[in-house]
């Protein structure tokens, strides 16, 4: 690990000023991802701005929405009564990730901006366009079981590893940002980028921009929602495929509304808008769920080790929607 200076910020404005002033500075949340990357010298910040003392409140508002401070710990979000009862998919997605110890220190902001677990990104001896632009990509011909099947490019097939983000994208969460140019809010769905020919650019954040909070709009039928993660080990493993879903079925047995997002499939948490469009108004049955899954995965491309994920994603979508249909009965 290289030498760096450490500063603790007391509020968002001072954090942004400290990061702006510090050479090669990075924000430090729980450090469960950044510090690992510093140990591997994949990231080499010269200044760390500790933002763990910033807003961490979880506020349930009168309109039913939730406002979660970016410094809130993953454990606190998963355990919050309003999250557990109104957005079970969010609670379950967080609990499906990492370990209790990691979730106790990991923050919401850090979870959103955690970097890919592609082994070639972590390995300084390997070629990686994300770590070193124009270097090439050893994952394309290497061990690519965990890699992307949607939205990838010849430059990068890495996936975004967060479980929590899959649920947040399904819930249309909004990210509140503050930077030297002021404040703004954007849908989380638009924060992360697909790799194209610049996989080193992972988000549309401006330099120094800080995630200050996440807002989750009210979604009454999200109380009938879930998160399913398919992985190689029962715990402490990243997703091969994950599905976050909420389903609203009317008294005629038709899909009134649905939210669907996938994890483990792309460079960003993947909102399954094509599947949602296919499902709305249809009879909620296995045939419709399968048709929706086919539509979403129509453009999927498998690599040597991960082509099985295309069928796995379809089956997981169907299984989750079948389960939620039962909850609607
Ligand atoms: C062994 C292991 C297993 C894991 N398994 C899983 C898993 O199964 N599923 C899963 O989803 N995750 C998993 N994780 C990842 C874990 O969820 C992340 O490491 C954690 O959420 C990152 O949060 P943090 O606060 O520690 O981020 P940090 O490491 O502090 O920061 C991560 C990045 O976010 C930036 N950042 C942090 N906060 C902000 C902010 N407010 N504004 C702007 N930038 C910010 C930092 O500068 C840094 O670039 C695992 C991690 C480990 C070590």
pLDDT of 63-75, one tens digit each?
A: 999 999 999 999 9
Does residue 89 lie in a domain region? no
Q: In CATH, what number is assigned to the domain containing residue 14?
A: 3.30.43.10
Residue 97 in tokens: 């990730």
Yes or no: say if 7 and 52 are a contact pair by the CB < 8 Å rule: no
For tokens 């998160």, the residue is: 227
Span 119-124, mean pLDDT? 97
pLDDT at 74: 98
Span 311-325, mean pLDDT? 98
- Distance, in Å, from the CA atom of 136 to the CA atom of 113, rounded to the nearest integer, reads 23
268-299 tens-digit pLDDT:
999 999 999 999 999 999 999 999 999 999 99
Residue 50 in tokens: 């500790």
Does residue 88 lie in a domain region? no
Q: In CATH, what number is assigned to the domain containing residue 319?
A: 3.30.390.50
Residue 136 half-sphere exposure toward CB, CA atoms < 13 A? 7
48-101 tens-digit pLDDT:
999 999 999 999 999 999 999 999 999 999 999 999 999 999 999 999 999 999
Owning domain of residue 253: 224-328
Residue 160 in tokens: 């975004």
157-167 tens-digit pLDDT:
999 999 999 99
Span 10-23, mean pLDDT? 94
264-286 core/surface letters (b: 16 or more CB in 10 A; e: else): bbbbbbbbbebbbebbeebebee
Does residue 134 lie in a domain region? no
Does residue 186 lie in a domain region? no
- Distance, in Å, from the CA atom of 34 to the CA atom of 31, rounded to the nearest integer, reads 5
pLDDT at 1: 65
Yes or no: say if 116 and 254 are a contact pair by the CB < 8 Å rule: no
pLDDT at residue 328 tops 90: no
Does residue 251 lie in a domain region? yes
Counting ligand 1 atoms within 8 A of each CB, the residue from 54, 113, 119, 183 with the most, and so the one to mutate, is 113
Does residue 158 lie in a domain region? no
Residue 249 in tokens: 């079925």
Counting ligand 1 atoms within 8 A of each CB, the residue from 28, 33, 53, 239 with the most, and so the one to mutate, is 33
pLDDT at 137: 98
- Distance, in Å, from the CA atom of 220 to the CA atom of 57, rounded to the nearest integer, reads 22
pLDDT at 4: 96
Yes or no: say if 133 and 54 are a contact pair by the CB < 8 Å rule: no
Does residue 313 lie in a domain region? yes
- Domain end (from 38, 54, 70): 54
For tokens 């970097």, the residue is: 115
- Domain end (from 10, 33, 54): 54
pLDDT above 70 covers a percentage of the chain that reads 99
Total structural domains in the chain? 2
Return the higher-pLDDT residue of 133 and 234. Answer: 133
Ligand 1, pocket residues at CB < 6 Å? 26-34, 36, 51, 70, 97-98, 102, 106-107, 109-111, 113-114, 161-164, 210-211, 238
pLDDT at 326: 86
The pTM assigned to this predicted structure is: 0.98
pLDDT at residue 314 tops 80: yes
pLDDT at 327: 72
194-230 tens-digit pLDDT:
999 999 999 999 999 999 999 999 999 999 999 999 9
- Distance, in Å, from the CA atom of 82 to the CA atom of 243, rounded to the nearest integer, reads 21
- Distance, in Å, from the CA atom of 172 to the CA atom of 26, rounded to the nearest integer, reads 27
Beta bridge partners of 175: 186, 214
Does residue 92 lie in a domain region? no
DSSP secondary structure code for residue 116 in this structure: P
pLDDT at residue 329 tops 70: no
Residue 173 in tokens: 């969460």
């Amino acid at each position: 690990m290289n030498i760096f200076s450490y500063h603790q910020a007391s509020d968002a404005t001072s954090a942004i000023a400290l990061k702006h002033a510090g050479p090669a500075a990075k924000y430090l949340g729980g450090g469960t991802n950044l510090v690992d990357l510093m140990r591997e010298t994949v990231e080499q910040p010269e200044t760390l701005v500790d933002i763990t003392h910033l807003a961490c409140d979880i506020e349930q508002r009168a309109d039913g929405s939730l406002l979660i401070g970016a410094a809130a710990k993953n454990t606190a979000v998963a355990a919050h009564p309003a999250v557990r009862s109104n957005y079970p998919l969010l609670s379950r997605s967080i609990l499906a990730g990492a370990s209790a110890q990691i979730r106790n220190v990991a923050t919401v902001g850090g979870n959103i901006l955690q970097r890919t677990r592609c082994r070639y990104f972590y390995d300084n001896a390997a070629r990686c366009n994300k770590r070193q632009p124009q270097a090439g990509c050893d994952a394309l011909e290497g061990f690519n079981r965990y890699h992307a099947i949607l939205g990838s490019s010849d430059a990068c097939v890495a996936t975004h590893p967060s479980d929590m983000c899959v649920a947040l994208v399904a819930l249309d969460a909004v990210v509140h940002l503050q930077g030297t140019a002021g404040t703004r809010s954007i849908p989380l769905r638009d924060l992360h980028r697909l790799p194209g020919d610049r996989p080193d650019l992972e988000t549309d954040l401006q330099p120094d921009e800080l995630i200050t909070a996440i807002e989750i709009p009210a979604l009454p039928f999200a109380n009938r929602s879930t998160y399913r993660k398919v992985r190689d080990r029962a715990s402490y493993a990243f997703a091969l495929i994950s599905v976050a879903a909420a389903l609203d079925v009317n008294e005629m047995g038709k899909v009134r509304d649905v939210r669907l997002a996938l994890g483990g499939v792309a460079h960003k948490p993947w909102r399954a808008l094509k599947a949602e469009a296919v499902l709305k108004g249809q009879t909620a049955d296995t045939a419709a769920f399968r048709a929706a899954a086919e539509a979403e995965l129509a453009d999927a491309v498998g690599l040597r080790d991960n082509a099985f994920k295309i069928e796995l994603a379809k089956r997981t979508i169907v299984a989750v929607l079948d389960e939620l249909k039962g909850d609607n009965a």
